[in-house]
Amino acid sequence: MDKKWIIKEKGDIVIVEQLAKSLEIDNRLANLLVQRDIHAPDEARSFFAPDLSCLHDPFLMKDMNIAVDRISSAIGRNEKILIYGDYDVDGTTSVALVYSFFKKIYSNLGFYIPDRYEEGYGISYKGIDYAVENNFSLIIALDCGIKAIEKVDYATGKGVEFIICDHHLPDKKIPGATAILDPKRVDCNYPYKELSGCGVGFKLVQAYSIINDIPFSVLIPYLDLVAVSIASDIVPVTGENRILAYYGLKQLNENPGTGLKAIIKEASMGGREIRIGDIVFKIGP
C-alpha cells in the first residue's frame, strides 16, 4: 500500500532566524523547533533540558483553590472520600497516584474503577450508588466527568459532592460539581492545555502539597505513573508534559512503583532502559 506523506510547512523565517541566532544553532534545527510551536529561546532550552522548576503553578488552574479547600475540609471532618477513575490506563494511573498520595496522610479513603462492560466509560450511576451505600460524601473523579451533567446532578441529590479532574474538551454546559479542574475549560487560563488525566491529578496533589507544606520531593515517586499516562493516552510530549514524561521515565527506570515494577518484569523488560515507545507498545497494553 502506498504511503501518503504529509509534510509540515516550514516555520516563519523571521522567527526561525531569531531563534537560531539566540540559541546559536543551525537554521534547520531552529525550523524544527518552530514547527513544533517552540518560538521562544526559553521554551527551546526547556525542550532540550526539561526542569521540574519549570512546572506551572497548579493554582493557575480554574477551581484549584476550591478543590484543595474542599479536600482539606473533608479530611478535617473525617468524611469518606472516594477516588474514582476511568478504566483505561490514564484513568487507572490517575487513581493509583491520587489514592496513594492521600492514603499516606488520610485513612478514610476508598477507590472505584467502573467495569468497562457493565458500566461503560466515565462516571456511572452504579458508581454513585456505591458511594451512597458506603457513606462517601466526596468523589474525586479522574480522567472523566466533564460531560456527566445528569450523573453529577443525581449524586448531588443523594448528598454526594464531586471534584472533577479531567482533560477532555467540555461542552458549553459543564456539570454542577463543587470544583472542575480541566485546562481545556474555556474559562481556564492554565498555560498548558494538553495534560493527561493523570497529569491533572498530579497538579491537584501538587497544589494540596503546597498548601500543606509537603515538600515536592514527596511527589517524585509518582511521576512514573504520570509518564505512563502521557505515553498511553497519546497526548503531546511538549511543554509541561515533556517535563513530566522526562522525570517520569527517569523514575520508571531507576525506582518504579510496585505495580509498574511487576509489569516491567512480566513484560521481560528488566535490565534495559525503558523509553516512551516501550510504554506505548508494552507497559500500557
Q: Tell me what the mean pLDDT of segment 116-139 comes to.
A: 95
Distance (Å, whole) CA 194 – CA 209: 22
Beta strands in 143-254 (DSSP E): 161-165, 179-181
Distance (Å, whole) CA 272 – CA 47: 25
Residues 121 and 180: beta-carbon distance below 8 Å: no
**What's the pLDDT band for 97 if we cut at 50, 70, 90?**
very high
The type of residue at 190 is: Y
C-alpha triplet 161, 148, 129: angle, nearest 5°: 55
Q: Which of 85, 87, 84, 60 is CA-nearest to residue 193?
A: 60
- What domain range includes position 276? 58-283
Distance (Å, whole) CA 143 – CA 93: 10
**13: in domain:** no
**46: in domain:** no
- The CATH number assigned to the domain holding 215 equals 3.90.1640.30
- Sequence-separated (6 or more) residues with CB below 8 Å from residue 98: 83, 140, 142, 165, 201, 204, 205
35 pLDDT higher than 80: yes
Residue 7 C-alpha from the chain's centroid: 30
End-to-end CA distance of the chain: 27
Residues listed for the chain: 285
DSSP code at position 178:
S
Which pLDDT does position 1 carry in this prediction? 64
Residue 94 C-alpha from the chain's centroid: 7
Residues 116 and 94: beta-carbon distance below 8 Å: no
Which pLDDT does position 285 carry in this prediction? 85
What are the counts of helices (DSSP H) followed by strands (DSSP E) for the chain? 12, 5
- Whether the model clears a pTM of 0.85, i.e. scores above it, the answer is yes
**50: in domain:** no
Q: Which of 50, 93, 51, 71 is CA-nearest to residue 204?
A: 71
**143: in domain:** yes
Distance (Å, whole) CA 219 – CA 242: 17
Which pLDDT does position 94 carry in this prediction? 98
Which pLDDT does position 170 carry in this prediction? 97
What is the count of structural domains for the chain? 1
Looking at every residue in the chain, the average pLDDT score rounds to: 96
187 pLDDT higher than 70: yes
C-alpha cell at position 7: 509534510
The type of residue at 128 is: I
**29: in domain:** no
Specify which residues 181 forms β-bridges with: 165
Residues 78 and 196: beta-carbon distance below 8 Å: no
Which pLDDT does position 106 carry in this prediction? 98
**172: in domain:** yes
Give per-residue pLDDT as tens, 18-30: 999 999 999 999 9
**278: in domain:** yes
Distance (Å, whole) CA 118 – CA 186: 33
Which pLDDT does position 66 carry in this prediction? 99
